[in-house]
Amino acid sequence: MSERIYSDFRQPRQMLADQEYDGHLSIHDDSMASNLGFAGAPIEGPTHFSQFVHLCQAHFDDTWFERGCISAHYQNMVVEGEEVRAFIEVNDEGVLIGAEKRDGTPVLTGTASVGPDYGETEIDRRLARLKPSEQLVILSDLEVGQKGAGNPEPVVMGFDQHMGDLYPFSLRQKLAAITESHPWYTEDGASTSPWGRPVIPLEMISVLTQYSSRQAGFRTRGPAVGLFAAQEIRLIDGPLFVDQAYLLEREIIALSESRRTESNWIRTRVIDADDRQLKAEVILNSATMKASYSNYEEDARKLGKVL
């Protein structure tokens, strides 16, 4: 027997239209998305995570904020104006998650769980199925096991802190547009939480671990355009707090490719800067589109790759 519980339909907001990396606009810009054959600029995948928070808190209780794990594979892009609802499906094997558009088009699929025994997650399953790739071109200079050059990277997230070119907004601006809010994210509501401090929203943990990612030194060929293909956020000793100093340690745990993309899988460990305890881990599968790299075929021939 299984039970599926839905959120309301919401309209996620696009906040990355001005995002820049490697000196060019990203796929979240309408013109760039159009050039690559997409109907519009997609909303970043973890934006949808906020719609799961209330569902998961109701199922797992407040433990979700301390040891919750959301693990998702992004299936179809969402553009601003489209409506999305989330659901959790509870069965004998655990909790499955999904999100879909008003017309039923799937947006993401995955798992939700709490630790210390998180069970097999969506990302666990996908990593287990990967085959070693010998045809990488854009990512040919990367290696599995490679550590971030900036390890450990100091990071912090304040309410009014601008998060840089990759995330051209502040936490306060995000909270004004967030798909599903929660009192514990705010300065005023924090006093009602078990911890008495504002909690970083689940979707913004992705921002916390990514806004300084250029320091990692994972050099790729480009310019080329990428997007998030899958992601896992695992709280180990949470929550993560606003204005708390953290250290990030990054490592490439897998490299893969498909007909249209090359992918790196990076695990980022979030460590409390004060007590040096591990607080969370994030795995991001970032896929770079081969067609977006103008020298792809030329570099492939130089590297002796079979196209």
Q: What is the pLDDT along the chain (307 residues), one digit of tens a residue?
A: 688 999 999 999 988 765 555 554 455 444 554 555 555 567 889 999 999 999 999 999 999 999 999 999 999 999 889 999 999 999 988 999 999 999 999 999 999 999 999 999 999 999 999 988 888 999 999 999 999 998 999 999 999 999 888 888 999 999 999 999 999 999 999 999 999 999 999 999 999 999 988 777 888 898 888 889 999 999 999 999 999 999 999 999 999 999 999 999 999 999 999 999 999 999 999 999 898 888 999 988 988 887 6
Q: Is residue 306 situated within a structural domain?
A: no
Range(s) of the domain holding residue 174 = 3-300
Q: Would you state the pLDDT for residue 38?
A: 54
Q: Is residue 307 situated within a structural domain?
A: no
Mention every residue, 6+ apart, whose C-beta is less than 8 A from residue 188.
none
pLDDT, tens digit, 9 for 90 and up, residues 193-237: 999 999 999 999 999 999 988 777 888 898 888 889 999 999 999
CATH code (residue 53)? 3.10.129.10
Q: Is residue 162 situated within a structural domain?
A: yes
Q: Is residue 235 situated within a structural domain?
A: yes
Find the helix packing angle between 202-210 and 50-60, rounded to 10°: 120
Q: Would you state the pLDDT for residue 266?
A: 97
* pTM of the shown model: 0.93
At residue 108, φ and ψ (nearest 5 deg) are: -155, 160
Q: Would you state the pLDDT for residue 33?
A: 47
Assign 179 to helix, strand or coil.
coil
- At which residue do the structure tokens 């953290």 appear? 246
Q: Is residue 179 situated within a structural domain?
A: yes
Q: Is residue 73 situated within a structural domain?
A: yes
Q: Is residue 288 situated within a structural domain?
A: yes
Q: Is residue 244 situated within a structural domain?
A: yes
pLDDT, tens digit, 9 for 90 and up, residues 75-94: 999 988 999 999 999 998 89
Q: Where are the alpha helices (DSSP H) in the chain?
A: 30-35, 50-60, 63-67, 122-129, 171-177, 202-210, 296-302
Cα 270 from Cα 234, distance rounded (Å): 10
- Enumerate long-range contacts of 168-173, CB under 8 Å, 24 or more apart: 168/15, 168/16, 168/18, 168/19, 168/20, 169/15, 171/200, 171/204, 171/242, 173/15
Q: Would you state the pLDDT for residue 276?
A: 97
Q: In the chain, how many domains are there?
A: 1
